[in-house]
Amino acid sequence: MSLTPKKARFLEFLRSYQQERGMPPTFQEIMNGLGMSSLGTVNWYVQELEKDGYLRRTQENGKRALELIDSKAESLPLLGKIAAGLPIEAIPNSEWIEVPPAYLLPDHYVLQVSGNSMIGDHIQDGDYVVIRQQEQAEAGETVVALINGEATLKRYYPKAEGIELHPRNPDYPVIQVSPNDDFRIQGVLRCLLRNFE
């Protein structure tokens, strides 16, 4: 699972503090322990890690109201590889991939990225993406699109004369989808996972 180094350091401080003292730190103790300049910065990290599914607040405004969510991530099915280059078919597979608890929902699944057409969004060849299964998307969202039976991962832009699927790498062309093409959105990107092994 990919966390920024600063988020990982923040989370590790919480874990270490809890293991040593048997209780979570206060925001003030986090600020002092990590050398942060303000409680607002601490709050920002807490909110981000809540969104990522790593911790939760157990009581409103309590001094020690942080609870680490079990670090043993659960799994979602890996349904195949998705092109971030030229479209390829997403093939069903039986492998399972560990994900943060926030994404353990019945309409979510994992695909492995093949290609580098989305590197401008920091999505690299070999990364895993958590996808929420849905058939509609907002302009600019990154979607799993099925075009004439082939799946691809691109930014979605509906236009008056059709649909454009934008890569995030200047080496790849925009895919133009005409009204004559068989086009469906299969899901929207929710989370990027990367192993640093």
154 in active site: yes
Whether CATH 2.10.109.10 fits 74-193: yes
Taking phi over 0 as left and psi of -120 to 50 as alpha, with beta for the rest, 37 belongs to: alpha
Q: What is the pLDDT of residue 15?
A: 82
Q: Among 6, 38, 63, 117, which one carries the catalytic annotation? A: 117
Domain boundaries, the chain: 5-68, 74-193
Could you tell me the pLDDT band of residue 87, with boundaries at 50, 70 and 90? low
CATH number of 5-68: 1.10.10.10
DSSP 88: B
190 Cβ neighbours under 8 A, 6+ residues apart: 103, 108, 129, 130, 131, 132
What confidence score (pLDDT) does residue 120 get? 94
- Per the residue annotation, which of 63, 154, 159, 178 is the catalytic one? 154
Look at residue 36 and tell me whether its pLDDT is greater than 60.
yes
pTM: 0.61
